[in-house]
Amino acid sequence: MSDIGPVFNNHVLLIALGACLIAQVLKVFVSLVIHRKLDARVLVTTGGMPSAHSALVTALAFGVGYTMGWTSSDFAIATIFAVIVMYDAAGVRQAAGKQARILNQIMDELFQEHPNFNEDRLKELLGHTPIQVIVGSILGLGIAWMAQSAY
C-alpha cells in the first residue's frame, strides 16, 4: 500500500475522475431545473443529463492522447474504450431501461387487485439518450482540455 501515493500524481486519472464528478453534480442542477425540487439522489444514480460515464471516458481518452500522443496505441485503446462505453450507455442500457419501464407497468396493471403482492420495482433510469451522451462527452472534452492546458 506504500505505492499508492504516485496515483495521486496521475493527472490524466484525476482529470477524468474530476470530469465524472462534475457531470454527476451537474445532474443535481439539471434535476432541480426540470423537476423544481432538489434531489440529491441523482448524485449516486445512473442515467440522466449529462452522462457522467461519457464525461469520464472522453476526458480519459483526451488526457491519454494529450500526454501519450494522438497516434499512440494508448490513445487508440482509450478511444475505443470510450466509444464502447458511450454506445453501451445510449444503446444497451437505454433499451434495458425501456424494458424495465414496460415490465413495471405490466406489474402495476396485472397485480393492481392484489395489493399484498409486493415486488421491488425495476430501475428504469439505466441508460442515456444520445443527447445526454453527447453533452457528457462534450463536457468531458472541455474539462480535460482546460485542465491539461493548465498543466
Q: Domain ranges for the chain, please list them.
A: 2-90+130-150, 92-126
Cell 432541480 maps to which residue?
A: 32
**For 19-63, how does the pLDDT look when each residue is reduced to its tens digit (9 = 90+)?**
999 999 999 998 889 888 888 888 887 778 899 999 999 999 999
pLDDT at 7: 83
DSSP 8-state secondary structure symbol assigned to residue 48: S
Residue 123 has pLDDT above 90, yes or no: no
State how far the Cα of 100 lies from the Cα of 151, in Å rounded to an integer: 44
Residues in Cβ contact with 15 at an 8 Å cutoff, skipping those fewer than 6 apart: 59, 63, 143, 144, 147, 148
The DSSP element (H or E) to which 100 belongs, if any, is helix 92-110
Residue 109 has pLDDT above 90, yes or no: no
Average pLDDT, the chain: 85
State how far the Cα of 25 lies from the Cα of 8, in Å rounded to an integer: 22
pLDDT level of residue 2 (50, 70, 90 thresholds): low
State how far the Cα of 12 lies from the Cα of 18, in Å rounded to an integer: 10
Q: Can you give the length of the chain in residues?
A: 151
Q: How far is CA 115 from CA 85, 101, 120, 122, in A?
A: 40, 20, 13, 17
State how far the Cα of 100 lies from the Cα of 98, in Å rounded to an integer: 5
